[in-house]
């Protein structure tokens, strides 16, 4: 077990890329899900899209979008992440801020309805969750006014949608809180503090509910797919670090919990392959909100007038 500090995964150079496991859905890696979606929607890259990405990390999925982009605004709360993407994409605008602040900043700069693609991959549950709970090494504390948190989170999603240009997309990938892996993660974090609404699916529910409401207001159409797949660890050590470094973020209480260490070991053993790799069942929610005047724009060409 490493001695890395709490949240080192997002705050220490190189740690995220080192600990991240590759994820495959139906044999397609997560980054290629995005690449395939781009091909399906835009055919060949024409470098003409205005792209915003929140929680961009080290630019893993940005790589797939870059050939399609005329401009990119890349935001992450981690300085380490922002300096990595600034090096990798020197022409991009970078924003080092919490996603909700970065969104507010772009709206205040009159950039509403200017982005063809507003994206967030494996990162939206954090800013949504922060309306409901405060997360620090000292523990996780539920905010006092949960009804207010729900209103603020809904407003945050509305603001994300406001960034999307007419005809553009809000695209997100979110973890599947119901998978056995994520249920184990939830049980572990419940040792630190209970989650609002009794689990970790609530951030996805907040997002989907707000996007459905936007669809009902005629602002666009929501498509939402859940894909089953696998997180693949080359060996047991990598799988162990995936849990303790990425899922548990080296949280001091969870790092010294021997019962939890045993539970993770038993879990990983059950998915160990003959070649020493560990194939952890995983799920991803792929969410696409298309900003079109709904329902009129959803008719086939010829029937819409």
Interface residues toward ligand SAM, by CB under 6 A = 10, 55-57, 60-61, 76-78, 81, 98-99, 121-123, 126-127, 130
Shortest separation between residue 225's beta carbon and ligand SAM, angstroms: 17
234: left (phi over 0), alpha (psi -120 to 50) or beta: alpha
Residue 223 and residue 290 in contact, taking contact as beta carbons nearer than 8 Å: yes
> Please, which residue, 78 or 168, has the CB nearer to ligand SAM?
78
Q: Which residues of 237-276 are buried (b: 16+ CB within 10 A; e: fewer)?
A: ebbbbbbbbbbbbbbebbbebeebbeebeebbeebeeeee
Please report which helix (H) or strand (E) contains residue 13, including its range. Answer: none
Q: Which residues lie below 8 Å from residue 190, measured CB to CB, with a gap of 6+? A: none
Cβ at position 57, least distance to ligand SAM in Å: 3
> Which CB atom, from 219 or from 250, has the smaller least distance to ligand SAM?
250
Strands lying side by side in the sheet with 28-29: 28-29, 22-25, 221-233, 278-290, 164-175, 115-121, 49-54, 69-76, 93-96
By Cβ distance, which residue is nearest to ligand SAM?
A: 57
Measured CA to CA, the distance from residue 103 to residue 244 in angstroms comes to 30
Strand partners, 142: 133
User: At closest approach, how far in Å is the CB of 302 from ligand SAM?
Assistant: 39
Q: Min. distance of Cβ 245 from ligand SAM in angstroms?
A: 12
CB 119 within 8 A of CB 53: yes
Closest approach, Cβ 52 to ligand SAM, in A, equals: 12
SS3 90: coil
Give whichever of 221 and 242 is closer to ligand SAM, judged by the CB atom. 242
In the complex with ligand SAM, which residue's Cβ is closer, 174 or 221? 174
**The tokens of 262 are what?**
């045993």
- Closest contact distance (angstroms) between CB of 201 and ligand SAM is 17
Closer of 32 and 215 to ligand SAM (Cβ): 32
Residue 125: CB minimum distance to ligand SAM, A? 9
Residue (123 or 203) nearer to ligand SAM, CB: 123
């Amino acid at each position: 077990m490493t001695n890395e500090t709490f949240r080192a995964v997002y705050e220490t150079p190189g740690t995220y890329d080192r600990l991240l496991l590759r994820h495959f859905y139906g044999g397609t890696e997560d980054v290629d899900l995005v690449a395939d979606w781009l091909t399906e929607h835009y055919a060949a890259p024409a470098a003409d899209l205005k792209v915003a990405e929140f929680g961009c990390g080290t630019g893993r999925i940005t790589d797939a979008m870059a050939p399609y982009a005329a401009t990119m605004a890349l935001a992450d709360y981690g300085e380490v992440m922002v300096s990595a993407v600034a090096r990798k994409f020197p022409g991009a605008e970078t924003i080092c801020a919490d996603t909700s602040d970065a969104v507010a900043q772009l709206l205040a700069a009159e950039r509403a309805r200017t982005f063809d693609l507003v994206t967030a991959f494996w990162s939206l549950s954090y800013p949504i969750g922060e309306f409901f709970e405060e997360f620090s090494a000292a523990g996780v504390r539920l905010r006092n006014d949960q009804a207010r948190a729900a209103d603020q989170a809904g407003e945050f999603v509305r603001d994300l949608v406001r960034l999307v240009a007419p005809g553009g997309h809000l695209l997100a990938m979110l973890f599947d809180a119901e998978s056995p892996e994520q249920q184990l993660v939830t049980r572990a974090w419940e040792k630190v503090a209970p989650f609002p609404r009794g689990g970790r699916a609530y951030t996805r529910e907040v997002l989907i509910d707000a996007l459905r409401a936007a669809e009902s207001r005629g602002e666009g159409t929501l498509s939402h797919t859940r894909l089953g797949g696998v997180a693949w660890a080359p060996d047991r050590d990598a799988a162990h670090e995936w849990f303790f470094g990425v899922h548990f973020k080296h949280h001091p209480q969870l790092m010294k919990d021997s019962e939890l260490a045993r539970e993770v070991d038993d879990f990983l053993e059950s998915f160990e392959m003959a070649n020493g790799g560990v194939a952890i069942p995983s799920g991803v929610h792929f969410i696409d909100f298309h900003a079109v005047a709904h329902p009129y724009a959803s008719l086939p060409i010829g029937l819409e007038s």
